[in-house]
Amino acid sequence: MNDQIQLLVEAWEKLKAYIPVKDRSDAAIAYVKLIDDFGANDQDWEEVFSHSTRLHEAYKEVIEDEDEEEYDDDYNNQEESY
């Protein structure tokens, strides 16, 4: 894991205690987007997941949804070209 991603994971571990439980899912989604902006690769994500199940759940919601949207866009563009 690169140093920046490691720092973000450590910061999450410290900060999440100050985030109300009802807001942690939204905070985790924002944090996953931040980690993604720092260029996390598959190995980095595996490390992140080993530290936080909440970040893993947020990843599934954010990143996997984006992948599905891209696939849908590609599929729709192919249909339009026929």
**Segments forming the whole domain that contains residue 13:** 3-80
**pLDDT (tens digit per residue) in 35-66:** 999 999 999 999 999 999 999 999 999 987 77
pLDDT of residue 49: 94
From the list 41, 45, 34, 39, the residue with the least C-alpha distance to 11 is 34
Domain count, the chain: 1
Where helices occur in the chain by DSSP H, the ranges are 3-15, 24-37, 42-51, 53-80
Max distance between CA atoms of the chain, in angstroms, equals 54
From the list 36, 78, 71, the residue with the least C-alpha distance to 55 is 36
What percentage of the chain has pLDDT greater than the value 70? 79
Q: What gap in Å lies between CA 72 and CA 10, rounded to an integer?
A: 35
